[in-house]
Chains A and B, each alone.
Chain A
């Protein structure tokens, strides 16, 4: 009990949002990709490449926001490699996604050699006028950086896009039945490539949030499975944007809580605390999948299938 009392809960809830943002960005991007019927398992690779690309540009220009833009471009560029091989050369999406992760890890390690041990430029917090002065709620919700606010706005925009816009409807149609969408005259491959690029840009920015804000420095393999957790959160969310937000924040809460418990000196081996986010992600996946009717409800019907127009 004393340990729980020694934790500053306001600070914890505020840092929860910071811890969740990389996964929130990446998972939102992947949600759109999967809604278009494509399973890109390369999220981890795109995140880590975004992390180093954003960090390098952020350090060189001392402009963190420029770093985020670069990370988005870098992630999208890397995702186009996946897009070309799966959509034009019709390869297996699972294998190609894995290749993208392995490739991204190698590429980022190579690019990042000169950047180990450097501190990132600080992305300033923007205190929302008036709202940030509210006691308790203010420090938790309204004293963050612009990218964090952007990530929440992105969830809202994705939700509105998929639910209310015509383009969103077409994207979902492509994900449910590519043959039907093709027969209606929609460019399946082009739509999917756009979705993949969007997913890559989001993953890249998520990675940059780790290297520029959360940590903030560059170390090899620093995403440490965040991309895979993002993939799991899309399943957890049953492919619904607001539930992605919920899932990411739940995960962020666990990640921050275990760090706080480590710092507070809980009498449990550090390794057990460090493995807890992964174990809880697995547990959540099991609970969601156990309810088969619900798990199947959200999954796009054409997810992971190869589309060849002549069929």
Chain B
């Protein structure tokens, strides 16, 4: 299986009698993607609740199915030390890792891991 099998399934399902499945498939196929917000801190409970209420009016689904339309998540990119340990063989035959050898990389905060919270909701 490859991407094509998934895309063809989305096409088949885009007019499925299940409204939720059909709507999600259409949103991918027609690039009508939800709004996305990203930020460093988690989103406020009351903020999420407001978006959920708005979404209920927009998509007309039961509260139990709202999770398909309003959802939060976490993007986590850990730049572990591993991330930049490329070792260089110097001309005097010694080995030095690139983070120590490079003046350009030293000033970059490459080792800091980055976490971002996101929330998706209907436009």
Instruction: State yes or no: do A and B come from one complex.
Output: no
B-side residues, CB < 8 A to A, are none
